Homo-oligomer: A and B are copies of this chain.
Amino acid sequence: MLELRALPTDCAQRRQESVCVGCGARAFSVCSSLDPADLAGLDAIAERVSLKAGEALIREGDPAIHLFNITSGSVRIYKLLPDGRRQITGFLFAGDFVGLATGEDYAFSGEAIEDSTLCRFRKSEYRALVRERPRLEEALLDRATHELAAAQNQMLLLGRKTAQERIASFLLELPSRDPLRPQAEDQVRLPMTRSEIADYLGLTIETVSRVLTKFKTTGVIRLLSLSELRIEEPERLRDIAEGEA
C-alpha cells in the first residue's frame, strides 16, 4: 500500500531531478529564484537541447516561438547588415537567458560558440507560467535590467573608446562571465575566435591581433595559447580600459 503510493511520487521527483533540480546552471539563472514547487512547474515545460559548436538556435526574422536558458557552453548573439557586416551584441554563458529581447519575431540570431546545452521553453507556455509566479517575473525583470546596464556600457565602448580601450575592457569583463568555469585569478579563457571578438568590439581581426601583441610585448598580458591568456598587470589594464593611459 505504502509503496504503491510512494512510487509515482518518487518517479515525479526523479523526473524533476533529471532536468531542473540537478541542473548545474540553476544557481546562476533565473531558476534560482524559484522554490521547489515552482521548479516543478518549470520542469514540466522545459526541454533539453544540445548544440554542437557553430549550430544555430535562433535566426533573426524567424517567428519567436522559443526561449532558452543556457545550461553549459557559450552562445553568441548577433545582428547582420544586408551586406554581411556583423555586430555581435553579446556572448552568453551558463545561466544566461536567450530571447528576452524579442517581440513577434527574433530580432537577432544566436549560435553556439562551443558545444552547449540549453533548456528550451515554448514562449506561450513560459509566459503563462511567469504570470503565476511573481518571483520568476521579478527575476526576469532583474535580468533584463542588468542586461540593459551592460548594453549601455557596450554602447559607451563602441561609440567612444579606442581599439586599445575596447580590448582592455573586454579582457576585464570576460572572466566574470562564465560561472561554470570560474577562472583562476586574472586567467582569461577565450572560447571565441578573433573574428568574433572583432565583431563584438566593432573592430577588425587585424586590429584585435595587433593590440593583443602590443599588450603582450608591453607585458600587460601573456598569451598562454590562442584561447587562453593571463593578465599580468590588471591595474594597468584597468587604466587602459578607462582611457587613463
**A interface list, Cβ under 8 A from B:** 79, 81-83, 85-87, 89, 100-103, 107-108, 131, 134, 137-138, 140-141, 144-149, 151-156, 158-161, 199, 201-202, 242-244
Contacts and interface: CB of A to CB of B under 8 A. Distances in A.
B152 A79 contact: yes
Task: Please report whether the interface of chain A is mostly helix, strand, loop or mixed according to DSSP.
Answer: helix
11 contacts: A81-B242, A87-B155, A101-B145, A101-B148, A107-B152, A108-B152, A144-B148, A151-B155, A154-B155, A158-B158, A158-B202
Contact of A144 (B81, B89, B144, B155): B144
A36 to B, nearest CB: 21
B201 A85 contact: no
Copies assembled: 2
Contact of A149 (B81, B103, B149): B103
Contacts of A154: 151, 155
A161 B101 contact: no
A191 to B, nearest CB: 20
Given A82-B243, A159-B202, A148 B148 contact: yes
Contacts of A83: 243-244
Contacts of A202: 158-160
Contact of A138 (B137, B144, B158, B243): B137
Given A100-B145, A141-B144, 14 more contacts: A83-B244, A85-B160, A85-B243, A87-B155, A89-B156, A101-B148, A103-B146, A103-B149, A131-B134, A137-B137, A140-B141, A151-B151, A151-B154, A159-B199
A87 B159 contact: yes
B131 A242 contact: no
A43 to B, nearest CB: 22
A151 to B, nearest CB: 4
